[in-house]
Structure 1
Amino acid sequence: MTKTILTVAVTGNQTTLAQHPRLPCTPEEIAEACISSEKAGAAIAHIHVRYPDGAPSMELEHYSEVVDRIRDAGSQILINLTTGPGGRFTPSKDDPKVAAPGSTLTHPMRRVEHIVALKPDICTLDLNTMWSGNSAVINPPESLKVMAEAMREAGSKPELEVFDSGDIHLAHALLEQGVLDAPPLFQIVTGIRYGFSCTTQTMAYARSLLPDRAQWAAFGVGRMMYPMLAQAFILGGHVRIGLEDGVKLDRDTLAPSNAALVEKAKRIVNDLGGELASPKEARTILGLGG
């Protein structure tokens, strides 16, 4: 049995300080969450950045400080930087073609500025165009091509985040066009409204659509975080956990840290007969250099 790679998603951009008062927000807090999660069993850190007040950030200086702190500490955890921010459009009620407050839609090269500068091991490439809250997340294929080329030049492996079946069909097209390199790495997202639901049938269906030789992981959000982690492992995938996806250690207990979530995820994988990969082993499994 191939070892299972566990990704820790330490903060995201949707979880709030009201939901978890110890949510990592400063670069120091985010880096420490990644380092302590590695010690608990995580092989990959999926990183968003924040302003100190918890607001989502796209600032290069924030990403740079987080990455420098992780590397300076001697951590071997694989660094996976998000490129999701910058794709959201909120239509104005009076004139829907005009962006309302909350819109972040920007040029695709702005969304990968930190990838070009920092050259992480992995970076996300969201393939979804879908409704999200009161906004539309928009990822045009032409923008994806620009971002994918920048990732290729930086030497960073795209992690293809897919939220519905159409996203996987788009991935097939981008692979056929040579925009993406094979074998690809997928992250199947379940539990986002209007996307893949958190069910066994849905995850099995999503897995069945993946290209041959694809590496893949999956996760669920909120209370379905643990059931879908187990489901991903059972179906042969890698797994993800973290305060980006859910804030509870169990039904009644707020998770004290990302590391505590990783420790529970490790127990689940071990109890099901699996074993977590180290960062070095994860690098080999994913075919990453260095």
Structure 2
Amino acid sequence: MARQKTVITCAITGAIHTPTMSDALPYSYDDIAAQAVAAAEAGASILHLHARDNETGAPSVDVKDFQPFLPRIKQATDAVVNISTGGSLSLSIQDRITPAKTFSPEMCSMNMGSMNFSFHPLAKRYSDDDWKFDWEKDYVANSDGNIFRNTFRDIKEAAETLAPHDIKFEHECYDVGHLYNLKFCMDIGLFKAPVFIQFIFGILGGIGPEVDNLVFMKRTADRLFGDDYRWSVLGAGGAQMNLATTASQMGGNVRVGLEDSLFISRGKLAESNAQQVAKIRRIVEDLGCEVATPDEAREILALKGGDRVNF
């Protein structure tokens, strides 16, 4: 059989990193739109999008903070838009899925279990005078008290609320137990095959970013889902390119972007999301794989099509 092409997802801004950590991190509406389009032009067929306050860069799930950039991205590129439903560690699931419910994208994320989700060690890298905005220090330092809630009831509520929109979920699995959660949800009819699983490594509170863990997660998914799933890998921080490269050679898809890592190489900040996309595309192609176009990604993942979104 011909080898399936590699789908590159780019996560543009996320809700972990703050403006102080990198001048390249987009948070204004203009910068999110511009970097998303540039990432698509560099080879990303899926754009994973969070919103932020246009003035302070604080993470937001308010539809008014998505509205200014979603139509601009759709007008400028054919890339698949994937809207996060995990943009807040404190709000309810209904608040978090409101952007997806409002804009009906082709894809949105779906976190497959509750977990400790922390990035508080990052706060120690900056002095009190370094922070650009008042909200940043406490937001980062106090994340050690976070429980990222995604109960079975939450997952069911999100799945049933969004079901009429025919959205394909990026099932984010931060540990092996999340795979079993997904299997249970499929067994009770919440999600239909083929599902798209994002294996996530290196978040404090989740599974570590070792290749052995990638192999373990992949073997577990093979046992649980057989041929009924497609998969991708997200390596946080310094694990980003190494795990993406390994995944591509194992037949998987890849995710990069400033949400997941601010760096392009050890100790060197990335200049943009597009720079990370260009790097992983070069690696994937140099190793003999082909990168999927947006329409090929739609076919691989069985998406509804860009003509059926609400933006």
**Normalising to structure 1: TM-score of the pair?**
0.91
Q: Following the alignment from structure 1 to structure 2, what is the Cα–Cα distance between the partners of residues 138 and 158?
A: 18
Structure 1 residues 41-50 or 231-240, which shifts more?
Answer: 231-240
For the pair 1:175 / 2:177, whether they are aligned, the reply is no
The equivalences for 1:260-279 within 5 A come to 260-279=275-294
CA contact (8 A) 1:219 1:232 kept: no
Q: Is the 8 A contact 1:44 1:78 kept in 2?
A: yes
Structure 1's unaligned 5+ residue stretches are 89-103
Q: What are the equivalent positions in structure 2 for 1:1-290 lying under 5 Å apart?
A: 1-52=3-54, 53-73=56-76, 75-86=77-88, 88=89, 104-106=90-92, 108-133=93-118, 134=144, 135-210=146-221, 211-212=225-226, 213-290=228-305
What corresponds to 2:140 in structure 1?
none
Structure with more of its chain in helix, by fraction? 2
Q: 1:57 to 1:36 in 2, by over 3 A?
A: same
Q: Deviations over 1:11-54 (max 9, x none)?
A: 01111112111211012211111111111000000001111211
Deviations 1:98-152 (A, max 9, x none): xxxxxx232x222211111101010000012111232111111011101011222
Contact (CA 8 Å) 1:8, 1:37: kept in 2 or not? Answer: yes
Mapped to 2, the partners of 1:162 and 1:221 lie a distance apart of: 13
SS in 1 for 2:24: coil
Comparing 162-171 and 26-35, the one that deviates more: 26-35
Q: C-alpha displacement at 1:289, in angstroms?
A: 2.7
> Which digits, 9 at most, give the CA deviation of each residue in 1:215-268, with x for residues without a partner?
110111111111011111122110011101111111242211110110001111
Look up the SS of the partner of 1:265 in the other structure: helix
8 Å contact kept, 1:10–1:243: yes
RMSD: 1.2
Which 4+ stretches in 1 moved above 6 angstroms?
none
Cα distance in 2 for partners of 1:275, 1:189 equals 23
In the alignment, residue 246 of structure 1 is paired with which amino acid? S
Aligned to 2:141: none
Separation in 1 of the partners of 2:259 and 2:267? 18
| In 1: Cα distance, 2:111 partner to 2:31 partner | 25
Q: How far has the Cα of 1:187 moved from its partner?
A: 0.4
Report the more deviating stretch, 16-25 or 184-193. Answer: 16-25
AA in 1 matched with 2:263:
K
Task: Give TM-score scaled by structure 2 length.
Answer: 0.85
Aligned pair count reads 272
SS at match of 1:209: helix
In the alignment, the residues of structure 1 paired with residue 95 and residue 162 of structure 2 have an alpha-carbon distance, to the nearest angstrom, of 13
In structure 2, what is the Cα distance between the partners aligned to 1:289 and 1:50?
27
Contact preservation (8 Å) 2:107, 2:167: yes
Residue pair 1:28, 1:69 contacting (<8 A) in 2 also? no
CA offset digits 1:181-208 (Å, max 9, x no partner)? 1111100000012312111110011111
Q: Is the 8 A contact 2:258 2:273 kept in 1?
A: yes
